[in-house]
Amino acid sequence: MSSAASNHGSSRRVLVLVLALLPALASAQVVAPSGRTPADGGPADPESPGAAVIRPLESVVPNPRSTGQARTFETADAKFVQWLRRAAQGRVDAARMALNGGAHPCVRKYAGDVAETHVALIDEIDVLAAARRLTLSTKLEPADSKLLAALQKLSGPSFDRRFVAAMRTAQERDLARVRRQAGAARDEELRSLLRNAAPTIATQVDMAVTLTPMVASPGALPPGTVATGCSAF
């Protein structure tokens, strides 16, 4: 056999071998969508045997909120929360007026305490209402709107007397309702919120009781002096 014929035969055998190996080579070099092969660290072909299957997180760790509805208030609790939110805003608005318009230093101290604690109470109410999917109204109670309008027309000792008297009455009513609902509420978190709020409101009622004779005789502690008589607040 000539050298040319021998070379031709060898080339033919190599070509046949290459053609036979092409399918295997092609399957071993599956290119991922990013252009990287599994050997390069790219994702495996999801259709190939043994490939990792990526499932949505929900199918691996179920979201507990997806299996049931969020809790809501029963009707009586929802109505009370609506009232409490409006009442707390009324206390804040009146107290802020007294911080600027109060003549007696003890009145301003009392007003600061009422404003601070009721702002915190409003924050707690808003968080709980959102968790129960309850939309709250920020409209004031009619009595509170009337009080704010009256206070805007007053100043000095007259302002103090009207503010303290109105707040004492309002907070006595608030305390009675909060204590009653703390025992009757069906929602456990609402009961806890009310039980925590009741002692603070009770303290502020005592403050208003103490202030009543002080503002009735404003000369007992001239406005602008150090409020030593308020140290118990």
pLDDT category at 173 given cuts 50, 70, 90 is very high
Q: What is the pLDDT of residues 25-59, one digit of tens each?
A: 444 444 444 444 444 444 445 444 554 443 433 33
CB atoms within 10 A of CB 146: 12
Q: How many domains does the chain have?
A: 1
Q: How far apart are CA 218 and CA 214, in angstroms?
A: 6
The answer to whether residue 229 sits within a structural domain is no
The answer to whether residue 93 sits within a structural domain is yes
The answer to whether residue 203 sits within a structural domain is yes
Phi-psi region of 68 (alpha: psi -120 to 50; beta: other; left: phi over 0): beta
The answer to whether residue 46 sits within a structural domain is no
The answer to whether residue 20 sits within a structural domain is no
Residues in the chain: 233
The answer to whether residue 6 sits within a structural domain is no
In eight-state DSSP terms, residue 135 is P
Stated pTM of the model: 0.68
Range with lowest mean pLDDT among 48-57, 125-134, 168-177, 221-230: 48-57
Distances, alpha carbon 45 to alpha carbons 23, 30, 132, in Å? 16, 7, 46
Return the pLDDT at 61: 39
Measured torsion, CA atoms of residues 158, 163, 169, 173, in degrees rounded to the nearest 10: 170
CA angle 187, 189, 195 (to 5 degrees): 105
Q: When comparing pLDDT for 147 and 31, which is higher?
A: 147
Q: How far apart are CA 233 and CA 208, in angstroms?
A: 10
CA 62 to chain centre: 24
In eight-state DSSP terms, residue 218 is G
The answer to whether residue 99 sits within a structural domain is yes
Average pLDDT, the chain: 79
What's the domain range around 183? 74-215
Q: What is the pLDDT of residues 88-132, one digit of tens each?
A: 999 999 999 999 999 999 999 999 999 999 999 999 999 999 999
Nearest to 88 by CA among 116, 107, 63: 116
Whether the Cβ atoms of residue 108 and residue 98 lie closer than 8 Å to each other? yes
Return the pLDDT at 56: 39
The answer to whether residue 17 sits within a structural domain is no
Q: What is the pLDDT of residues 180-203, one digit of tens each?
A: 999 999 999 999 999 999 999 999
Which CATH number belongs to the domain containing residue 108 in this structure? 1.20.1260.10
